[in-house]
Amino acid sequence: MKKIFALLALAGIANLALAAEVKGDAKAAANKVAMCIGCHGIPGYKATFPEVYQVPMLGGQSAKYLESALKAYRKGERKHPSMRGIAEGLSDQDIADVAAYYAEQK
């Protein structure tokens, strides 16, 4: 039984190490941001679903904030159906890349 617990503990540590290794690559995001630009790339754009609201510009936001927001949409912790649908299709690497891309924009 101790061996099973030790193995599970090592597996958990390995997963944490893999998660910590995800580093955003802004250049790799060039093909990943196409779906973002339609709303977030238009100055002053207002969306009407699920209600009318000002769509935030992403350029210049911190990568850490953007990663956190996308992961929260993916988990359902942030409640916007369109963003959740988009975020659910992104891997941790995709999220890191997109966040790095927008953090470099001004």
Task: Give a yes or no: residue 32 inside a domain.
Answer: yes
Q: How confident is the model at residue 60 (pLDDT cuts 50, 70, 90)?
A: very high
Task: Give a yes or no: residue 42 inside a domain.
Answer: yes
Q: Is 106 helix (H, G, I), strand (E, B) or coil?
A: coil
Task: Give a yes or no: residue 44 inside a domain.
Answer: yes
Task: Give a yes or no: residue 5 inside a domain.
Answer: no
Average pLDDT over residues 81-87: 94
User: What residue type is 74 in one-letter code?
Assistant: R
| Distance in angstroms (rounded) separating the CA atoms of residues 68 and 44 | 24
> Could you list the residue range(s) of the whole structural domain that residue 48 is in?
22-104
The pLDDT tens digits for 22-48 are: 999 999 999 999 999 999 999 999 988
State the pLDDT at residue 2: 65
104, 26 contact by CB (below 8 A)? yes
Cα distances from 43 to residues 20, 23, 40, in angstroms, run: 34, 29, 8
Mean of all residue pLDDT scores within the chain:
88
Task: Give a yes or no: residue 6 inside a domain.
Answer: no
Query: Prior bond to 50 cis, omega within 30?
Result: yes
State the pLDDT at residue 33: 96
Task: Give a yes or no: residue 61 inside a domain.
Answer: yes
User: pTM (2 decimals)?
Assistant: 0.76
Task: Give a yes or no: residue 100 inside a domain.
Answer: yes
CATH number of the domain enclosing 74: 1.10.760.10
Q: How many domains does the chain have?
A: 1
Tokens representing 37 are 């630009």
